[in-house]
Structure 1
């Protein structure tokens, strides 16, 4: 094969090539590619067959300029890289959103904000017209990404309910109510010295779970039995449990604000020679894969993370069709009781 022949084979097929192969005009090919009407079934079939024969791949960037649409939705996760990999809830939200977007022929673009530099970069990126809307996970109050989304008027849905998003769409669970319910269930087992490892208090989910714990404890609430940690992570759970045990060695119950935190707390209890649930009863939150990997398996709250992602994606797609953001969506999150308490 000559160099000229190799070059010809590597040359990207064009709309003109498809039109010639199918025996139709380039305008007819464009109408089919853009999903427009007024094309006969015979012509449509011929064009689809020609696309397969010449190996034509639509140029998304060029199409975006014409259609003023990228067919891409950004999923912004404001978490450290390590937590993005560790947290199964994030993966479930991502997969649920991707399923809904795929069904609508949209592409999911995953964007991680791990540092202030990432936040600045993403705020600039959002203004570039490369995505049509966003799903935002783990936003904090005062988040610059939230402000950028509002300034640009991007169709958006938040997973969770930061207090400063105005009337923007969001999908969530009742973190406060669920935390209150599972704490009361733990108290009903006869525990008298119940503490909490409270993670992520800079966002609505963490703050609401702490509020639910306080509600359930009532007059028995002791602020000395609450240990705050930065993230919903195994390592923070282990460190938080060690701190609690130093302050309150007579502790006999713990509400950990996520399953990953509870798994870390279990490790610290094991290191300290405490049995679960014999000496200490422990409950988590999420009903993630962490819950069943623990020994004993965790009593926890079921968070329908994949449904949260799917509902957020559906909300953004609805806004792109011209619908209003609509009412907030709050999904059920029942308690799942297992051996850890």
Structure 2
């Protein structure tokens, strides 16, 4: 009777790569090694045909080898928002390298929150990446009560101290791009402000207000619920109704800016001739419009990868330092202003 082929082990990888077992283990568990060592180990994995024994590892470590990706957004926005998709891909890539599975959990309603809370408490995942949490969001209490390893994308004001997060300087980025818009000679500048129930929306409005100083006019702020195309059109029409002489607009996301651009065209306004328009994110929306958008580049994939690494560090017993990480956001200046 033919014998089953021998399963490749960590010893085999180490021998083929010319490194220690400990170095191989760090790569398999999401730890840091030099780029040269990682490349040698990844090549050795392919050479020896290593396949992780996930079932054995799960039993030994009493872990699921899974991490939840909790998106607190309407289902439609979850599918249409390129930033959420990019964050998810970045997180999945980092988790995959550490042989962890990502489980997507979309929360749109209170019922969803109860279901997801039960799921997180059932031991089905070892940690959770949380995207788009609001102020006083129930997910914050769920994570805290479960003492579940977690990383938040963004920083809700009431996030408990010690829970790690990763994000960007929304206020500083909004201030910088608004200042640059004003430097083009615009005098009546408004904003389509979205998601004012979370830190990103609040901070972008604060940065806009700070940039304009005494020129800030609260009547030229149109509040909309979500970072989506439809909200951009509604917000822009509202601003035009309030002040037809408006000649500059900061949209809180590229999707909003794209909707605003369509509303401006419907009103017979040219961009950037009559109205200078800037967005935020440097998502696919920014290069699909004509003209292409001036915007802030949000490193969405990198944010997802850092969030995943924060989870992996906690699972290894390392306390993330610092607990909060802000990634750079360069201004990308194109033709819309």
TM range (shorter): 0.7 to 0.9
State the number of aligned residues: 304
**Residue of structure 2 in register with 1:220 after alignment:** 215
**Residue of structure 1 in register with 2:314 after alignment:** 319
* CA distance in 2 between partners of 1:225 and 1:336 (Å): 24
CA contact (8 A) 1:259 1:291 kept: yes
**Residue of structure 1 in register with 2:286 after alignment:** 291
Deviation at 1:325, TM superposition (A): 2.7
CA contact (8 A) 1:134 1:156 kept: yes
* CA distance in 2 between partners of 1:272 and 1:98 (Å): 43
**Residue of structure 1 in register with 2:198 after alignment:** 203
**Residue of structure 1 in register with 2:62 after alignment:** 68
Whose Rg is larger?
A: 1
**Residue of structure 2 in register with 1:333 after alignment:** 329
* CA distance in 2 between partners of 1:79 and 1:127 (Å): 21
Question: Which aligned pairs between 1:1-341 and structure 2 lie closer than 5 A?
Answer: 21-22=3-4, 60=55, 64-167=58-161, 168-327=163-322, 328-341=324-337
* CA distance in 2 between partners of 1:21 and 1:101 (Å): 34
Deviation at 1:67, TM superposition (A): 2.6
TM-score scaled by length of structure 1? 0.84
* CA distance in 1 between partners of 2:278 and 2:110 (Å): 33
- Over aligned residue pairs, what C-alpha RMSD do you find? 2.6
Partner-residue secondary structure (3-state), 1:263: helix
**Residue of structure 2 in register with 1:3 after alignment:** none
Partner-residue secondary structure (3-state), 1:326: coil
Deviations, residues 262-286 of structure 1 (Å, cap 9, x unaligned): 0000010011110000110000000
Partner-residue secondary structure (3-state), 1:297: coil
Q: Which runs of 5+ in 2 are unaligned?
A: 16-44
* CA distance in 2 between partners of 1:224 and 1:23 (Å): 73
Deviation at 1:338, TM superposition (A): 0.7
TM-score scaled by length of structure 2? 0.85
* CA distance in 2 between partners of 1:74 and 1:141 (Å): 21
* CA distance in 1 between partners of 2:294 and 2:204 (Å): 16
Deviations, residues 189-235 of structure 1 (Å, cap 9, x unaligned): 00000000000000100000000000001001110000000000000
State the 4+ residue runs in structure 1 displaced beyond 3 angstroms: 20-24, 56-60, 62-66
